[in-house]
């Protein structure tokens, strides 16, 4: 079965090695076990002893109940039976498409977003229509355009809230308007919510699951909880028909998740608010650095992100996003993700939520390269 190359992941795999200044990754400073124990105020030896006597069988095939309890608390009125644990959010997204999408189905996806949301359904033979997110709309979907795209054949609408790469955030009122449009064709809404909770302002973003009976949320431990290496994610829905199909498909490609990783994830989710507070502090402090750079650098502009860990920065220089990011990596050690990975040009995605000093130095280097290009056009 043919699938488009996963541009963002291929770029990251290749260019991560040049990453003296890491402005490419989308995680907030990743946790170690040591740091996790410190945040959770847990005795390291006690926890490690507990881990050592865990049986390393398949464990709970449908997911460790403590882990699922932690997941259920991230939603309103969600029971453990409505949660399916997966290998990362990537596994959760894949499972949704694998369970629901058949050849000739109509799927609508926002663009730009994480490529899984359009390239997987396309590879399954779906007719994928794009809902382009534009800077003039603050990268929020144009509802009239969505209304025109939806037809009686629409099976699934794919959203990403908060959005990677733009950092746009849809609030409850906005999401409810999308639900009204989806209802007209009885379409499912898949909302990838892996950055949910990482907001610049103290507002709560509801999950799609609480707003629509055919809403499906995917998420995981990677971004909001800084634990990507656990490779744990989940999909949550109240739609019984979807859950039945997804549980059945899951048996075929994963059986259960890692027993040890689920134990660590359960501890992290028991302390979810502490980790989220830590991460909100970082994203807010770091955005100030990025924002001040954008305001002072005349060769760049952006829509200030409302949430998440990334921003899409447009530049005024006559060089493709690929060549610019290639030069930045190889000549300056700055790791960024070019716009072409999101089907856009003259822009790059910046992951601004890691080390502050790397961020400041990286931004200086981007400025000097952009200025040298505009001073000496090829
Ligand atoms: C929107 C989005 N969804 C899913 C993923 C994959 O997440 P995970 O590491 O949980 O598999 C990413 C990773 O960058 C992402 O940005």
235 CB under 6 A from ligand 1? no
Ligand 1 center to 377 CA (angstroms): 37
Torsion of CA 50, 51, 57, 59, to 10 degrees: 70
Ligand 1 center to 372 CA (angstroms): 34
- Where the chain has pLDDT below 70, the residues are 378
Q: Could you give the CA distance from residue 376 to residue 23 in angstroms, rounded to a whole number?
A: 25
Ligand 1 center to 192 CA (angstroms): 8
Tokens of 212: 């629509």
Burial 127-160 (b: 16+ CB within 10 A, else e): bbbebebeeeeebbbeeeebeebbeeebbbbbbb
Q: Whose CA is nearest to atom 1 of ligand 1?
A: 114
Query: Given this model, what pLDDT does residue 378 score?
Result: 62
The overall pTM is greater than 0.95: yes
Ligand 1 center to 362 CA (angstroms): 24
Give the residue among 173, 107, 105 at the shortest CA–CA distance from 140.
Answer: 173
Q: Could you give the CA distance from residue 315 to residue 333 in angstroms, rounded to a whole number?
A: 19
Give CA separation, 50 vs 43, 57, 260, 272, in Å.
11, 15, 10, 20
3-state secondary structure of 163: coil
**Spacing of C-alpha 363 from chain mean position:** 23
Each residue's pLDDT tens digit, 46-90: 999 999 999 999 999 999 999 999 999 999 999 999 999 999 999
199 CB under 6 A from ligand 1? no
25 CB under 6 A from ligand 1? no
Closest ligand 1 atom number to CA of residue 27:
14
194 CB under 6 A from ligand 1? yes
Ligand 1 center to 90 CA (angstroms): 6
The number of beta carbons lying within 10 Å of the beta carbon of residue 314 is 18
Query: Given this model, what pLDDT does residue 377 score?
Result: 72
Going along the chain from its start, the domains and CATH numbers come out as: 7-32+274-370 (3.90.1150.10), 44-271 (3.40.640.10)
Give CA separation, 346 vs 22, 163, 293, 298, 322, in Å.
20, 19, 18, 15, 9
Q: How many residues does the chain have?
A: 378
Ligand 1 center to 219 CA (angstroms): 8
Burial 42-55 (b: 16+ CB within 10 A, else e): eeeeebeeeeeeee
Q: Whose CA is nearest to atom 6 of ligand 1?
A: 90
Ligand 1 center to 127 CA (angstroms): 23
228 CB under 6 A from ligand 1? yes
Query: Given this model, what pLDDT does residue 50 score?
Result: 92
222 CB under 6 A from ligand 1? yes
The answer to whether 220 and 201 have CB atoms below 8 angstroms apart is: no
The answer to whether 309 and 198 have CB atoms below 8 angstroms apart is: yes
Pocket test for ligand 1, best of 27, 114, 232 (most atoms within 8 A of CB): 114
Closest ligand 1 atom number to CA of residue 26:
14
């Amino acid at each position: 079965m043919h699938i488009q190359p996963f541009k963002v992941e291929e770029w990251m795999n290749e260019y991560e090695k040049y990453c003296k200044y890491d402005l490419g990754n989308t995680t907030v400073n990743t946790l170690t076990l040591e740091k996790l124990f410190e945040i959770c105020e847990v005795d390291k030896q006690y926890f490690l002893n507990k881990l050592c006597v865990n049986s390393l069988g398949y464990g709970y095939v449908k997911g460790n109940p403590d882990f699922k309890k932690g997941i259920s608390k991230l939603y309103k009125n969600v029971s453990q039976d409505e949660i399916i644990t997966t290998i990362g959010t990537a596994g959760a997204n894949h499972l949704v498409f694998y369970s629901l999408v058949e050849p000739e189905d109509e799927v609508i996806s926002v663009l730009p977003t994480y490529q899984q949301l359009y390239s997987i359904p396309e590879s399954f033979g779906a007719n994928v229509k794009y809902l382009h997110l534009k800077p003039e709309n603050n990268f929020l979907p144009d509802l009239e355009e969505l209304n025109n795209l939806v037809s009686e054949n629409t099976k699934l609408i794919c959203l990403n809230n908060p959005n990677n790469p733009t950092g746009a955030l849809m609030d409850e009122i906005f999401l409810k308007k999308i639900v009204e449009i989806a209802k007209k064709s009885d379409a499912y809404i898949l909302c990838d919510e892996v950055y949910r909770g990482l907001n610049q302002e103290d507002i709560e973003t509801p999950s799609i699951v609480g707003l629509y009976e055919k809403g499906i949320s995917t998420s995981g431990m990677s971004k909001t909880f800084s634990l990507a290496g656990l490779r744990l994610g989940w999909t949550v829905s109240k739609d019984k028909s979807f859950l039945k199909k997804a549980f059945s498909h899951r048996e075929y490609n994963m059986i259960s998740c890692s027993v040890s990783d689920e134990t660590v994830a359960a501890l992290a989710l028991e302390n979810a608010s502490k980790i989220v507070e830590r991460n909100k502090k970082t994203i807010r402090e770091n955005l100030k650095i990025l924002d001040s750079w954008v305001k002072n650098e005349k060769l760049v502009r952006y829509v200030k992100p409302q949430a998440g860990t990334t921003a899409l920065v447009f530049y005024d220089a006559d060089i493709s996003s690929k060549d610019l990011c290639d030069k930045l990596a190889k000549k300056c050690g700055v790791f960024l993700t070019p716009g072409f990975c999101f089907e856009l040009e003259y822009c790059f995605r910046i992951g601004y939520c890691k080390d502050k000093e790397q961020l400041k130095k990286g931004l200086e280097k981007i400025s000097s390269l952009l200025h040298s290009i505009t001073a000496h056009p090829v």
